[in-house]
């Protein structure tokens, strides 16, 4: 018997990658040029995102991780042992590690669109927690949430740290939470970290780090288009731009054209006026009452929530 052979498994649901070309061509042809943020996460994009998480200005992971350290026991008591813990958009599987010893789940199911990255993170996590079953699912969680067939039966709890929910606009977020409620079913749970609304200056500093890592992350999208879609973007002629749209309650990221120019992608020509932007990301922020209203509308009951002394970030535990 070799438990290591089955302790970590990988399931490829082949997220539709051809979609990238179609989405970019369509998004650049739009009057308001736009490309959705899920395409940031190729290998280099995922690595740059990991580097964003290290930037002091990007308070989100620092504050959130401290909340898990401070309240892991309390969270585990609410969630209960032996749950099947499912994490859509698991990335490096870093935050879940702060909960595993307290939670002792029956299995952990990381889900990510970036296959290589997921495979590596799942293997590393499995090695660090020898008692843990890890069943990784490579998929686009904005489209589908498959559970691998070898996941044990048991109470399901979805874990969404990092304010990933912020990328959805509000109706989409409600729909996504509704799908999660269906996936976990009656008695299931949701532990979710959601960034809070706060002063514009704090938010804008967080998305304009001094080391320029967020800028490199945003611009990497153009490198990816150049590499994968026969693009001709001149990286020196576009700049990172991030601002807080208070009326919409969201950080917006854009790529600004620094001059009037033409760019080819996949044999098609796109014209940019000087100062014209490609909208690449929205990151919605929620007051606790706003998030609780949203989760309630999606079929959850909010059992408990935790926040830091500066009211920067919220973590919520909700049940169906
Ligand atoms: C992964 C969507 C939560 O919006 O804060 C961080 C992505 N973009 N810095 C966020 C991001 C630029 C992040 N989310």
Tens digits of residue pLDDT in 145-161: 999 999 999 999 999 99
Q: What confidence score (pLDDT) does residue 17 get?
A: 64
Q: Which atom belonging to ligand 1 lies closest to the Cα atom of 89? A: 1
Out of 283, 285, 312, give the residue to mutate to test ligand 1, the one with the largest number of ligand atoms within 8 Å of its CB.
283
Q: Does ligand 1 have an atom closer than 6 angstroms to the CB of 166?
A: yes
Please state the pTM of the whole predicted model.
Answer: 0.93
Q: What average pLDDT does range 235-248 have in this prediction?
A: 98
Q: Does the pLDDT of residue 117 top 90, yes or no?
A: no
| pLDDT band at 38; cut points 50, 70, 90 | confident
Q: What average pLDDT does range 27-53 have in this prediction?
A: 93
Pick the residue whose CA is nearest to atom 10 on ligand 1.
283
Judge whether 156 and 83 are in contact, CB under 8 Å.
yes
Judge whether 238 and 259 are in contact, CB under 8 Å.
no
Beta bridge partners of 157: 85, 189
Tokens of 55: 């930037």
Q: Does ligand 1 have an atom closer than 6 angstroms to the CB of 163?
A: yes
Pick the residue whose CA is nearest to atom 4 on ligand 1.
283
Contacts with 320 (C-beta within 8 Å, 6 or more apart), sequence order: 181, 184, 185, 186, 187, 188, 189, 299, 300, 301
Q: Does ligand 1 have an atom closer than 6 angstroms to the CB of 60?
A: yes
Tokens 């208070």 belong to: 246
- Distance separating alpha carbons of residues 37 and 136, to the nearest angstrom: 22
Pick the residue whose CA is nearest to atom 5 on ligand 1.
283
* C-alpha 283 – ligand 1 centre gap (Å): 6
Q: Which atom belonging to ligand 1 lies closest to the Cα atom of 206? A: 9
Judge whether 299 and 183 are in contact, CB under 8 Å.
no
Q: What are phi and psi of 290, to 5 degrees?
A: -65, -45
- Distance separating alpha carbons of residues 164 and 146, to the nearest angstrom: 18
Q: What confidence score (pLDDT) does residue 132 get?
A: 97
Tokens of 174: 């409600």
Q: What confidence score (pLDDT) does residue 116 get?
A: 86
Q: Does the pLDDT of residue 4 top 90, yes or no?
A: no
The ipTM is 0.99
Out of 163, 197, 248, give the residue to mutate to test ligand 1, the one with the largest number of ligand atoms within 8 Å of its CB.
163
Q: What confidence score (pLDDT) does residue 152 get?
A: 95
Q: Does ligand 1 have an atom closer than 6 angstroms to the CB of 207?
A: yes
Q: What average pLDDT does range 79-86 have in this prediction?
A: 96
Q: What confidence score (pLDDT) does residue 269 get?
A: 98
Pick the residue whose CA is nearest to atom 2 on ligand 1.
164
Q: Does ligand 1 have an atom closer than 6 angstroms to the CB of 92?
A: no
| pLDDT band at 6; cut points 50, 70, 90 | low
Q: Does the pLDDT of residue 177 top 80, yes or no?
A: yes
Edge-first strand order for the sheet with 238-245 is 238-245, 250-257, 277-284
- Distance separating alpha carbons of residues 276 and 254, to the nearest angstrom: 10
């Amino acid at each position: 018997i070799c438990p290591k052979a089955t302790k970590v498994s990988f399931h490829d649901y082949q997220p539709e990658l051809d979609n990238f070309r179609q989405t970019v061509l369509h998004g650049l042809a739009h009057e308001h040029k736009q490309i959705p943020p899920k395409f940031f996460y190729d290998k280099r994009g995922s690595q740059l995102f990991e580097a964003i998480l290290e930037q002091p200005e990007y308070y989100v992971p620092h504050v959130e991780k401290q909340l898990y350290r401070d309240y892991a026991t309390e969270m585990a008591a609410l969630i209960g042992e032996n749950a099947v813990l499912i994490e859509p958009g698991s990335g490096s599987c870093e935050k879940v590690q702060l909960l595993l010893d307290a939670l002792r789940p029956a299995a952990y199911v990381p889900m990510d669109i970036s296959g290589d990255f997921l495979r590596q993170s799942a293997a590393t996590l499995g090695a660090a927690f020898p008692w843990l079953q890890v069943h990784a699912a490579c998929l686009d969680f904005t489209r589908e949430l498959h559970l691998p067939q070898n996941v044990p039966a048991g109470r399901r709890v979805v874990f969404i740290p990092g304010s990933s929910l912020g990328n959805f606009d509000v109706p989409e977020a409600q729909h996504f939470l509704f799908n999660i409620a269906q996936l976990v079913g009656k008695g299931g749970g949701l532990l979710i970290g959601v960034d809070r609304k706060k002063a514009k200056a704090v938010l804008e500093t967080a998305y304009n780090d001094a080391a320029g890592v967020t800028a490199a992350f945003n611009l990497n999208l153009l490198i990816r288009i150049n590499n994968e879609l026969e693009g001709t973007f001149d990286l020196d002629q576009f700049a990172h731009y991030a601002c807080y749209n208070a009326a919409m309650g969201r950080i917006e990221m854009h790529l600004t054209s620094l001059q009037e120019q033409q760019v080819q992608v996949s044999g098609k020509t796109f014209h940019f006026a000087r100062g014209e932007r490609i909208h690449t990301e929205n990151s919605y922020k929620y007051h606790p009452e706003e998030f609780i209203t949203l989760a309630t509308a999606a079929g959850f009951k909010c059992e408990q929530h935790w926040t830091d002394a500066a009211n920067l970030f919220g973590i919520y535990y909700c049940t169906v």
